Amino acid sequence: MTVSRRDVEAAARRIAPFVRRTPVVVLEGDRGGLPRDVVLKLEGMQHSGSFKVRGAFNALLSSAVPAAGVIAASGGNHGAAVARAASALGTRAEVFVPATAPAAKQERIRRYGATVTAVGATYAEALAASVERGDRTGALRVHAYDQPEVVAGQGTVAVELAQQCPDLDTVLVAVGGGGLVAGCAAWYTDSLAVVGVEPEAAPTLHAARAAGEPVDVEVGGIAADALGARRLGTIAHEVTSRYLAGSVLVPDDAIRQAQRVLWEELRVLAEPGGATALAALLCGAYVPGPGSRVGVLVCGANLDPASWTVLPETGV
């Protein structure tokens, strides 16, 4: 099971009428404490608040959706994306989430019209419950990151970024289960350096690269609701083994710093998972080469602004 550049190209054509072409903005290094200027792709402005809707639309548009509709498991963002796509395409959706999923993300899924069922404390438990339910109802399962149609859809963000910024030589991508980084790597292949960025507390890609295959890891930290897959997807492992230029780990403190920089310099709100790729530049986990032109995917913005204070003197 793999995904090719041709699959990503086809997905881009398929989903074009249903997704936003999200903007890019330059964050100046002298303002953000970065080693140099970087280009940010603001995917938090996408429908449902993250890149995930790209994969959801591609999965639904690539399949014959049964009368039972679609079913998914999610820490929040994938569920909102599936619910949004199902609503737009006129089908029902059921989403299983762990009971620990943020209330704001659960409410967003409901607002798109999906049925939400909270099960267990982890994504893995929610996934197992969704599979059992799908087997009973016959609903179309849409996996959060380890399904070819989903991975190809996520890769369409790289198609856009390549059109908007053709002079980039490196793109930093946050990694959870690996659908986004696999889609981007499948698109760019060897034409550009794709670097995966993970929280230290959720090192699925790091562990898979060390072991030579996907393995289970302990998951925690502030970005676990978005990047808290217990194991890297098999598609992500296959694609990244061929095309990924490297991967780095970042601490939670650096992720918080990235959130603050995005807010203070651009007035862009990003959830922890959405800010993780930028954190690699801020903490020095990734150091660009001389003259390197770096792009960063700011991949999600699903947080409750009322519950998060950026700095002691400036609330959101």
* pLDDT averaged per 10 residues in sequence order, the chain, 316 residues: 94 98 95 90 96 98 96 92 97 94 87 94 89 95 96 98 97 97 97 97 96 95 90 97 97 97 95 97 95 96 72 40
If one looks up domain 5-50+154-315 in CATH, what number appears? 3.40.50.1100
Q: What pLDDT shows up at residue 315? A: 37
Which residue carries 């792009």 as its tokens? 295
How far from 62 is each of 7, 14, 140, CA to CA, in Å? 11, 8, 11
State both tokens at 64: 């014959």
Q: What pLDDT shows up at residue 6? A: 97
CA 142 – CA 305 distance, rounded (Å) = 29
pTM score above 0.85: yes
CATH code 3.40.50.720 for 52-148: no
Q: What pLDDT shows up at residue 307? A: 66
**Residue 295 β-bridge partners:** 39, 171
Please name the helix (run of DSSP H) or strand (run of DSSP E) that holds residue 72, with its range, or none. strand 70-73
Q: Where are the domains of the chain?
A: 5-50+154-315, 52-148
